[in-house]
Amino acid sequence: MVRLALILALALASSSAGAAQIAVDVDRRTILLADEPDAVRRPASIVKLMTAYVAFAALERGDVTEEQIVTVSKHAARQPPVKLRVRAGQKLPFGELLAAAIIGSKNDAATAVAEAVAGSEEDFAARMNDAAMRLGMTNTRYVNASGLPTPGQRTTARDTALLALALLTEYPERSTLFSERKTRAGGKGVTTTNPLFGRVSGVQGMKTGFTCGAGYNITGLVERDGRRVLAVTLGHKTKGARLAAIKALIGKGFDALDRGSPLEAGKPMPQDPPHIGACSGRAIAKARESDAWIPPERPRTIRPAPPPARRVVALPKPIAPKPPPPPRTIRQKPLPPSPPPLSGWAAFLGAFSSEREAAARLSAINALATKTHILPVKIVPRPRDGRRLAVIYGLSQPQAQALCRLAKGVGQYCLTLGPRALLNPKARWRR
């Protein structure tokens, strides 16, 4: 009777906590619609958005590299599921661990990332809270890097939207990791838990989260006709309710484009996050007592969504080659001799719509470093969309980092690449 009374009490208490949600125009930073955006909720694995933000910052500073080998600690290996199931003492590249944490929501991988960046998960959480304060996330507090249930961990839909926008604007190339559906880490396949893939056109990913206490959470990013809508909904009791809510939120968001108010920091909310009670029967009591049992969100089979009609382009039929045109009166100076193709460390300047645009950016950044233009450059076509990837290579690690600092000093994107990432045909910067 006591157990039954506890279950009923928890179910009734959680029923009063509705979903908290917000939809935002990414490029204009305006709120398109919102419902209880400042209601405090338990974040679950939505926490990994901030784990990625702090890790991306460490990569940009050169504190860690994607190729750096991380030795998994006992603390990381002992994290509850969902997990990669790495062993204590196992060695993996930092980039693989970060991808497993973001794409597959693996808790042990997220903890290993935190320890590699800050030395301990506690120190990493301090960095997370410092970043949240700088971003105006007034109702968010972090205790760990995974989102596993811990007293004091809290967030809101508004704060989550502020964080997601910071990821997209400060680390646009690295944030493409959230759009990937599969990866490999530690020799194992890792699949996304994001239910939007294959169900919503134009989806570019982001992050899900779930525990019994938090309920089902999701942050989704969708692009259509060059406009992007970010949607956040927190605190649903079922997967189906979460999916229906996020799809409706995205649809209404696109209907409300060009309207809305600026997205700003919310007012401090003193209340504690409610226990949603997204598990039934004895699991509710068990989750309420320890808040440590997390039924995993199973990776789902991905069925690719059909591309939007605007992206379907009829290719011209091949024609016989024409004789070369006469030389133009305006000629570009030839590039100087280069070392062997794509050697050493490199500075990746981004993807451009044309080779001329990529060459102009390379020339401008090159001029920042030397007036004699001796740094070798490379323009690499990207197979999936034909965009041109601009790279300055043949550098040492300090040279690459210094060049990126110069580029960022004039407001340009720049990413340092180690030799392994530079030469890997499947590296993320190429995709």
pLDDT of 317 over the 70 cut: no
- Tell me how far CA of residue 290 lies from CA of 107, 180, 236, 391, in angstroms: 18, 33, 20, 51
Residue with the bigger pLDDT between 401 and 232: it is: 232
pLDDT of 379 over the 80 cut: yes
- Tell me how far CA of residue 124 lies from CA of 9, 127, 142, in angstroms: 36, 5, 10
- Answer yes or no: are the C-beta atoms of 79 and 146 closer than 8 Å: yes
pLDDT tens profile 73-129: 999 999 999 999 999 999 999 999 999 999 999 999 999 999 999 999 999 999 999
Encoded tokens for 157: 């839909």
Give me the chain's average pLDDT, please: 84
pLDDT of 333 over the 80 cut: no
Q: What pLDDT score was predicted for residue 67? A: 95
Q: Give 312's contacts (C-beta < 8 A, 6+ positions apart).
A: none
Task: Give backbone dihedrals phi and psi of 26, rounded to 5 degrees, phi first.
Answer: -60, -45
Residue with tokens 């016989």: 320
Q: Are strands 388-395 and 182-185 parallel, antiparallel or unpaired?
A: unpaired
Encoded tokens for 406: 């110069």
Region 57-66 average pLDDT: 95
Q: What is the DSSP letter of 309?
A: G
Q: Report the distance separating Cα 219 and Cα 213, nearest Å.
A: 18
Task: Give backbone dihedrals phi and psi of 93, rounded to 5 degrees, phi first.
Answer: -65, 145
Helix, strand, or coil here: 20? strand
What domains appear along the chain, each with residue ranges and CATH number?
A: 18-290 (3.40.710.10), 345-430 (3.30.70)
Q: Report the distance separating Cα 260 and Cα 210, nearest Å.
A: 30
Q: How confident is the model at residue 286 (pLDDT cuts 50, 70, 90)?
A: very low
Q: What pLDDT score was predicted for residue 143? A: 96
Q: Report the distance separating Cα 182 and Cα 189, nearest Å.
A: 7
Q: What pLDDT score was predicted for residue 66? A: 94
Question: 166 — alpha (psi -120 to 50), left (phi > 0) or beta?
Answer: alpha
Helices (H), 354-396: 355-369
Q: What pLDDT score was predicted for residue 327? A: 57
pLDDT tens profile 173-185: 999 999 999 999 9
Q: What pLDDT score was predicted for residue 323? A: 64
- Tell me how far CA of residue 96 lies from CA of 69, 91, 106, 292, 322, in angstroms: 10, 11, 11, 26, 47
Q: Report the distance separating Cα 395 and Cα 385, nearest Å.
A: 28
Residue 334's Cβ-count burial label (10 Å; 0-12, 13-18, 19+) is exposed
Helix, strand, or coil here: 179? helix
Q: How confident is the model at residue 309 (pLDDT cuts 50, 70, 90)?
A: very low
Over pLDDT 70: what percentage of the chain?
A: 81
Q: What is the DSSP letter of 41?
A: B
Q: Report the distance separating Cα 295 and Cα 288, nearest Å.
A: 14
Encoded tokens for 394: 């043949």
Torsion angle defined by CA atoms of residues 169, 173, 177 and 180, in that order, rounded to the nearest 10 degrees: 110
Q: Give 181's contacts (C-beta < 8 A, 6+ positions apart).
A: 103, 191, 192, 194, 197, 205, 302
Q: What pLDDT score was predicted for residue 371? A: 54
The radius of gyration computed from the CA coordinates of the chain, to the nearest angstrom, equals 24
In 72-175 the beta strands, taken as DSSP E runs, fall at 91-93
